[in-house]
């Protein structure tokens, strides 16, 4: 079994990408968004973190979290969120993908990829680049023409905080153009 090393920093700010099993579009629609929001809220009640930015697309999530100063345990938080979402989905008789033999042996469902991508934010420039990447992601995937048109992101919050103009994201921002190509 592979052991993955993760850079863990107490009180750190992290960028995450979490993907559904086989990239199935199970996160499409308000019902799935509500289950995900509930899973995150319930997890934050026992394992706090600040959600700085986020976007939910049909088959994956990008988000930025800041953990408490004395805490670096983001893997447990993601396990709790994934588990809670899966239970909500199954409780409402939604069928995930049929899991393979390996997943069946482990008692897993075909809802999420086992792992996730994380990146420790290094400085303000890195933070800005990731926030822009998150908010522009629905446009990059061809889901909308501009960031303001995607309902499942923190983009509106950033507009209200005067971090972006309302028409931001009609074209790919320079902050992520070359960087995004290198990180795909």
**pTM, entire model:** 0.87
Tens of pLDDT along 15-46? 999 999 989 999 998 999 999 999 999 999 99
From 133, 160, 169, select the one nearest 61 (Cα to Cα).
133
Using the predicted structure, report yes or no on whether residue 104 has a pLDDT greater than 60. Answer: no
pLDDT of 109 reads: 56
Are the C-beta atoms of 14 and 119 separated by less than 8 Å? yes
Residue-by-residue DSSP string for 35-61 = HHHHHHHHHHHHS--EEEEEEEETTEE
Domains in the chain (CATH in brackets) are 6-121 (3.30.70.1290), 123-184 (3.30.70.1290)
Q: Please give the structure tokens belonging to residue 108.
A: 């897993």
122 contacts: CB under 8 Å, gap ≥ 6: none
Active site residue: 14, 136, 152, 158, which one? Answer: 152
152 catalytic residue (yes or no): yes
């Amino acid at each position: 079994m592979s052991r993955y090393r993760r850079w863990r920093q107490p009180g750190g700010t992290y960028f995450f990408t979490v993907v559904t099993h086989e990239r199935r579009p199970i996160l499409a629609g308000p019902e799935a968004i509500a289950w995900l929001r509930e899973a995150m809220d319930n997890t934050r009640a026992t394992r706090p973190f600040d959600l700085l930015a986020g976007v939910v697309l049909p088959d994956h999530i990008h988000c930025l979290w800041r953990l408490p100063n004395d805490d670096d345990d983001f893997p447990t938080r993601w396990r709790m969120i994934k588990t809670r979402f899966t239970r909500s989905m199954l409780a409402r008789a939604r069928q995930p993908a049929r899991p393979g033999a390996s997943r069946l042996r482990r008692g897993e469902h075909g809802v999420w990829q086992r792992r996730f991508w994380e990146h420790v934010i290094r400085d303000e420039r890195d933070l800005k680049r990731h926030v822009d990447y998150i908010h522009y992601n629905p446009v990059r995937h061809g889901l909308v023409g501009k960031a303001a048109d995607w309902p499942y992101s923190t983009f509106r919050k950033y507009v209200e905080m005067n971090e972006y103009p309302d028409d931001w994201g009609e074209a790919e921002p320079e902050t992520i153009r070359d960087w995004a190509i290198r990180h795909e």
